[in-house]
Chain A
């Protein structure tokens, strides 16, 4: 099974900050990497698929990059509605495990 790790586990940031979250796979997964956003008490929402493709309706301040084992999610200018927990997930093979999450809260 392919295990996913994320760093940091949490971060504090201010509105307008540039935020970067890192995800690492235990083996190469090419570009088979998705990112999700989850707000408290809500279902997750797909942000990015195939490492760098933006899901329809997602603001362009979100971007993804990477391939192989190392990936990043970047929020170019953090907005109040972006305070949430972010999960990466590999779609290279079954089981499609998620990373442990990165909580972004207000500084």
Chain B
């Protein structure tokens, strides 16, 4: 079964740090771009970061640049998100998602597999 399982969420004070993990199974992890997407309570979906198969390319939403770092360990089939200098506005459910290339008439990408999410609360 194709699966993504996040862990590492919790309550952290403003300015603190947290490291999220995502364990992948059921597919060849090293063949896919991977992403983090978050959702603040009662709000919509916000893409946070992407990482290429070999980790050589990484992209971030402007609001987390310089504070968050996405990384992966293909030998462990794992994706990570190191979050530093956390702010109240980072409070959200963080989803790990597979960013899959799909070839039809065009070659496109979509988030086709999602984890169940892990809650991060930034509060004093």
Determine the main DSSP class of B at the interface with A.
strand
The answer, among B105, B114, B115, B117, for a CB contact under 8 Å with A31, is: B105
Task: Tell me the chain B residues, 8-55 only, with Cβ under 8 Å from chain A.
Answer: 37, 44-47, 50
How many residues of B sit at the interface, in one of the four size bands?
20 to 34
Of chain A, the residue at the smallest CB distance from B113 is: A46
Known A-B contacts A44-B45, A95-B59, A95-B61; the reply to A50 vs B106 at CB < 8 A is yes
Determine the main DSSP class of A at the interface with B.
loop
Pick from B95, B105, B115 the residue with the most CB of A within 10 Å.
B105
Interface 9-residue window, one of A16-24, A70-78, A97-105:
A97-105
Residues of the A chain whose Cβ atoms lie less than 8 Å from the Cβ of B61: 95
Residues of the B chain whose Cβ atoms lie less than 8 Å from the Cβ of A87: 44-45
How many residues of A sit at the interface, in one of the four size bands?
20 to 34
Q: Is the CB of A50 within 8 A of B45?
A: no
- A residues bordering B, Cβ < 8 Å? 30-32, 34, 36, 38, 43-46, 49-50, 53, 55, 87, 89, 91, 94-101
- B residues bordering A, Cβ < 8 Å? 37, 44-47, 50, 59, 61, 95, 99, 102, 104-106, 108-112, 114-117
